[in-house]
Amino acid sequence: MTSLKLILFILAYIVINVKGICDRQSGPVGSIECSFNPDFDKKQWNTCLTNNYIQRQSQGREKCADQTDIYCTYACMPEVYYVRDGNVVDTCACNDSLVPPTSSLPTECLSPDGSNCDWYKNCLERKYSCQGSSTEHLFMYTTIFCNLYIKHKNVFTDRALRWINDGRKCLQVALVPFIRPFVNGTCQEIHDAAFDAFKSCNIKPYPEEGSICDMTRRDWLRAFWMMKSEYSVLTSTAAYAWLQNALDTFYECQNDPQANDFGHVYQEFKLTIDLIQTSWNNQINLNKNQFDQIAVDIAHRIAKFLMAPSERWGWYAYGIPLSIQRSISTYKQMTIALLVADLPGIINDTLIPPVNITNIEFKELIQKLKNTLVKGDLQIQNDNGIFYVSQMGHCIDMKCHATIEDIVAPPYDSKSNSNKSCFSMMSLLLVTLIFFL
Confidence of residue 350 (pLDDT cuts 50, 70, 90): low
Q: What is the pLDDT of residue 348?
A: 74
DSSP 16: H
pLDDT band at 166 (very low <50, low <70, confident <90, very high): very high
Among 60-64, 106-110, 326-330, the minimum mean pLDDT is found in 326-330
Query: What pLDDT is stored for residue 259 in this prediction?
Result: 67
Mean pLDDT computed over 241-245:
96
The pLDDT tens digits for 184-208 are 999 999 999 999 999 999 999 988 7
pLDDT at 425 over 60: no
Residue 283 confidence (pLDDT) above 70: no
State residue 103's pLDDT score.
93
pLDDT value at 328 more than 80: no
**pLDDT at 18 (0 to 100):** 30
Across 5-14, 80-89, 177-186, least confident range: 5-14
Distance CA 396, CA 267 (A): 9
pLDDT at 432 over 80: no
| Residue 420 pLDDT | 53
What would the pLDDT profile of 366-424 be if each residue is shown by its tens digit?
999 999 999 999 999 998 899 999 999 999 887 788 888 889 999 998 755 555 544 44
**pLDDT, position 428:** 45
Other residues' Cβ atoms within 10 Å of the Cβ of residue 17: 11
How confident is residue 261, by pLDDT bands cut at 50, 70 and 90? Answer: confident
Please check the confidence at residue 355 and state whether its pLDDT lies above 70. Answer: no
Least confident of 172-181, 208-217, 372-381, 421-430: 421-430
Give the 3-state DSSP-derived string for 335-383, with helices as H, strands as E and coil as C: EEEEEEEEHHHHHCCCCCCCCCCCCHHHHHHHHHHHHHHHCCCCEEEEC
Give just the sign of the alpha carbon dihedral 171, 172, 173, 175.
positive
The answer, yes or no, to whether residue 434 has pLDDT greater than 50, is: no
The backbone torsions φ and ψ at residue 202, rounded to the nearest 5 degrees and listed phi first, read -90, -35
Residue 274 pLDDT greater than 50, yes or no: yes
| Calculated CA dihedral for residues 398, 401, 407, 409, nearest 10 degrees | 110
Range from 9-18, 281-290, 362-371, 382-391 carrying the lowest mean pLDDT: 9-18
pLDDT digits (tens, 9 = 90+) for 126-165: 999 999 999 999 999 999 999 999 999 889 999 999 999 9
Mean pLDDT across the stretch 279-298?
82
- Is the model's pLDDT at 362 over the cut of 90? yes
Query: What per-residue confidence (pLDDT) applies to 398?
Result: 78
Mean pLDDT (the chain, rounded): 86
- Give the DSSP letter string of 244-313: HHHHHHHHHH--S--B-TTTTTEEEEEEEEEEEEES-S-GGG--HHHHHHHHHHHHHHHHHHTT--TTTE
Report whether pLDDT(16) > 50. Answer: no
pTM of the model: 0.85
Residue 168 has pLDDT above 80, yes or no: yes
Domain range annotation of the chain: 31-102, 118-253, 266-413
User: 202 or 287: whose pLDDT is higher?
Assistant: 202
Whole-number pLDDT of residue 12? 34
Candidate from 71-80, 226-235, 424-433 with smallest mean pLDDT: 424-433
